[in-house]
Amino acid sequence: MPQIFRDPSFDSTLDVLREGYPFLYCRSQRFNSDIFQIRLMGLKAICLHGAEAAELFYNPRLFVRKGAVPRRVQTTLMGIDAIQTRDNGEHRCRKEMFMSLMGPESRERLMSLLAEQWQRYAHRWEQQDRVVLFREAQEILCRAACAWAEVPLPEPEVSKRARDFGAMVDGFGGVGPRHWRGKQARRRGEKWMRGIIRAIRKGALPVQEGTAAHTVAWHREPNGELLDVQMAAIELVNAIRPIVAIATYITFAALALHEYPPYRQLLRNPAEDYPELFVQEVRRYFPFTPFVGALVREDFSWHGFEFAKGTLVLLDVYGTNRDERWWQDPEVFWPERFRQWQRSPYDFIPQGGGEFLTGHRCAGEWITIEALKQAVAFLNDGIRYDVPAQDLTYDLTRMPTLPASGFVMTNVRATG
Ligand code: HEM
């Protein structure tokens, strides 16, 4: 029986924080193995890398999520006991609720709300000396996401709410003040959404059927009960907060346009869906989710390696997207590679892999792709701008990361 290679470090928790995104990837290369073992916060964790291992990880018969997500991630990023931590029928029922919001009409509505906001902001930027794209994109996405969900967002609150959704995401990999800010932001966000859910249920806030606010407020669990108010608030945040998080990819897309100007022309070629290739490469090349975790459901073995019930297993998201066996020259930004991509649900997993309904693959992947395509078209043709000297480096040891300046633009002119 083969033995899983063990990292010699007694406990890797500090190394994960010190090394950031490449931590798992570096070790899978060093040990020349798709599977190895580390200790994390004193517990044994099996680490998996690559498409074949992702296929294993996304087999819902082999893994569960309950108990796998650290509390510090739940109190910032996703909320306590939310869909991400559910299994079996409970998960399926919750996932159907989220996927019901992702149909073509609903997505189109979101895209047209977003288009309106990009236009509005473009004219506003013409009056400003400098614009930090990341912050502006967060507001644009927050306004559109709340309108799409039918969550009223009073004008004076826009900036605060957008920042709070951002802080929830920013808090997941942070320690100290960054983590604390994420927790505070989540507390405020959930309180706000509890008010919304109560108002809808009392009939005081009319919302259309099919919107996120209506769907979550009236969703019934497999036992026929409505979600309790707190859980409904958490899941409503889970429908809006990740839309605001697309600001990170938009900022990276702006960086890619800036660093590789020849793509500006290719993006305008009507003969090919080049924007699709471009945004897929943005999602592959730039880091966002470092890894995801699950617990072994029952004992099983894979290629002779033993997986004991209850063991924590981590899947290397960052490294799988740069696996040389699937991605030639992975450290080169090269959208054309996606012409050959076979659309496997396991070799390209920036938002998780596997199936949507039966697994934990991100419910918002289509929205993310469409919103990114729209933002790239806007940055390419909707405005002209200068990019002054600034620090555009991003730190791989910080999770989540971002170009340090947030991408500053000056002299913005709307073309439309
Ligand atoms: C799950 C990433 C955008 C809703 C996930 C997962 C990742 C992810 C890595 C977990 C996969 C796993 O556990 O195996 C991202 C990134 C986004 C994004 C990087 C871009 C900013 C969105 C959007 C929405 C959304 C726009 C919805 C409006 C969800 C939901 C889940 C999820 C509901 C839980 C799925 C489940 O547990 O079954 N996302 N996501 N995400 N995402 Fe996203």
The dihedral built from the CA positions of residue 138, 141, 144 and 147, taken in this order, carries a sign that is negative
- The pLDDT of residue 353: 98
Q: Which atom of ligand 1 is nearest to the CA of 352?
A: 11
CA 317 – CA 328 distance, rounded (Å): 17
Q: How far is the CA of 409 from the centre of ligand 1 (A)?
A: 29
- Which residues lie below 8 Å from residue 203, measured CB to CB, with a gap of 6+? none
Q: How far is the CA of 367 from the centre of ligand 1 (A)?
A: 10
- Counting ligand 1 atoms within 8 A of each CB, the residue from 73, 148, 280, 351 with the most, and so the one to mutate, is 351
**Domain layout of the chain by residue ranges:** 5-414
- The type of residue at 2 is P
CA 65 – CA 225 distance, rounded (Å): 22
Q: What kind and span of H or E run contains 198?
A: helix 177-202
Evaluate whether 159 touches 194 at the Cβ level (below 8 Å): no
Q: Which atom of ligand 1 is nearest to the CA of 367?
A: 26
Q: How far is the CA of 99 from the centre of ligand 1 (A)?
A: 11
For the purposes of burial, counting CB atoms within 10 Å of the CB of 93, is it exposed (0-12), middle (13-18) or buried (19 or more)? middle
* Protein residue whose Cα sits closest to atom 41 of ligand 1: 364
Q: Which atom of ligand 1 is nearest to the CA of 91?
A: 38
Reported ipTM: the value is: 0.99
What CATH number was assigned to the domain covering residues 5-414?
A: 1.10.630.10
Joined together, the tokens standing for residue 37 give 């073992």
Q: Which atom of ligand 1 is nearest to the CA of 98?
A: 33
CA 26 – CA 47 distance, rounded (Å): 12
Residues with a CB atom less than 6 Å from ligand 1: 83-84, 95, 98, 238-239, 242-243, 245-246, 249, 288-289, 292, 350-352, 360, 362-364, 367-368
* Protein residue whose Cα sits closest to atom 43 of ligand 1: 362
CA 15 – CA 224 distance, rounded (Å): 46
Distances (CA, A) of 138 to 120, 144, 239, 279, 369: 14, 10, 15, 18, 16
DSSP line for 238-263: HHHHHHHHHHHHHHHHHHHHHH-THH
* Protein residue whose Cα sits closest to atom 31 of ligand 1: 362
Taking alpha carbons only, the member of 416, 390, 415, 414 closest to residue 134 is 390
- The pLDDT of residue 377: 97
Q: How far is the CA of 368 from the centre of ligand 1 (A)?
A: 9
Q: Which atom of ligand 1 is nearest to the CA of 361?
A: 11
Q: Print pLDDT tens along the chain (416 aa).
A: 688 889 988 899 999 989 999 999 999 999 999 999 999 989 999 999 999 999 999 999 999 999 999 999 999 999 999 999 999 999 999 999 999 999 999 999 999 999 999 999 999 999 999 999 999 999 999 999 999 999 999 999 999 999 999 999 999 887 889 999 999 999 999 999 999 999 999 999 999 999 999 999 999 999 999 999 999 999 999 999 999 999 999 999 999 999 999 999 999 988 889 999 999 999 999 999 999 999 999 999 999 999 999 999 999 999 999 999 999 999 999 999 999 999 999 999 999 999 999 999 999 999 999 999 999 999 999 999 999 999 999 999 999 999 999 999 999 999 97
Q: How far is the CA of 240 from the centre of ligand 1 (A)?
A: 11
